[in-house]
Amino acid sequence: MKKGVLLVNLGSPDSPNPKDVKKYLGEFLMDERVIDIPYTARALLVRGIILKTRPKASAAAYKKIWWQEGSPLIVISKRLQDKIKNQVDIPVALAMRYGSMTIEKGLKELVEQGVKEVLLFPLYPQFAMATTETILVKAEDIRKMHFPNLKIESVPAFYNKSDYIEVLSKSIQRYLKGKPYEHLLFSYHGVPERHIRKSDISKSHCKINGSCCVTPSKAHEFCYRHQCLEVTRLVAEKLQLKEGSYSTSFQSRLGFDPWLQPYTDRTIERLGKEGIRNMAIVTPAFVSDCLETLEEIAMEGQEIFHEMGGNEFTTIPCLNDDDDFVNLLSKWISDWNKN
């Protein structure tokens, strides 16, 4: 059976214009795994409130980071795809969970090349309801409806794979070389606390306290919080970071429900108030730079730090199309193709 790969990232509006941003946000926020409340309440919140106020502000943010070639996330993802294509012997397509580059289009592209077996590759190191799970569910729905004879296998979360940690650590080390920093902040995309509990396959382990994420459990296979903390721990170990010179936080919260803490913006503010004058920040929940890294962290985060008296604010890029990252993903794909 001919094999192929579908890389899947989050997505982006077609342009930074409010109309396109509104369309994109509508699809994204109406996903039941992003805002996981009953449909009627979700529609009222999203269409009745958020989409009447947020698109204009979000469009302004997108305009700040938009590249001449297009959306940074899309451009970077295509570069990654092209580089991987040059290293593997099977077709590699690219899709987005939201927006015009749909998963259906990606699967169709592979099927038209004679592919019968697909490796679905969510470009997320950690598992989360609102990222990996929604991709898997959407892909399966599309397969049943349009490609019933297609076999799909997915790549599990790779947050703790030693070769991934090696590549991530090497990238961080390279960007920190020669940079004055007193503290390294690992900022991950936040999720509502209820998502952690909903993903707990044991139905009892996840307490979101100081011990559950470090106590061995089968729940960790799908626990986003554990997986984020584990990336921080493994990288700190690899880079031999001193205790107290690094920490973990969570960004991009939405609404008023409790989200994973500590919050990134408040952590940056606290570090500045405590006298840290030079800090660095890395965002390991993202493999491609995007609005959340280029605007929320590199611009807004830096502004907060400077307002608190900070000097040097070093933003470490995502792995993007880094050659070591390309080599790693290509190796995983080639190993799968041999089986």
| Total residues found in the chain within this entry | 339
Tell me how far CA of residue 142 lies from CA of 13, 97, 284, 292, in angstroms. 22, 12, 29, 28
Helix, coil or strand: residue 155: coil
**Maximum Cα interatomic distance, the chain, rounded to a whole number of Å:** 61
Q: Which residue carries 């030693």 as its tokens?
A: 162
The C-alpha atoms of residue 25 and residue 239 are separated, in whole angstroms, by 38
DSSP structure class, residue 142: H
- Would you say 189 is a known binding-site residue? yes
193 membership: H or E segment, kind and range: helix 193-198
Q: Which residue carries 């390294």 as its tokens?
A: 184
The C-alpha atoms of residue 326 and residue 328 are separated, in whole angstroms, by 5
The dihedral over CA atoms of 175, 178, 181, 183, expressed in degrees to the nearest 10, equals 50
The C-alpha atoms of residue 94 and residue 84 are separated, in whole angstroms, by 11
| Residue type at 256 in one-letter notation | F
- Would you say 220 is a known binding-site residue? no
DSSP structure class, residue 243: T
Would you list which residues are annotated within the binding site for Fe(2+)?
189, 292
Would you list which residues are annotated within the binding site?
189, 292
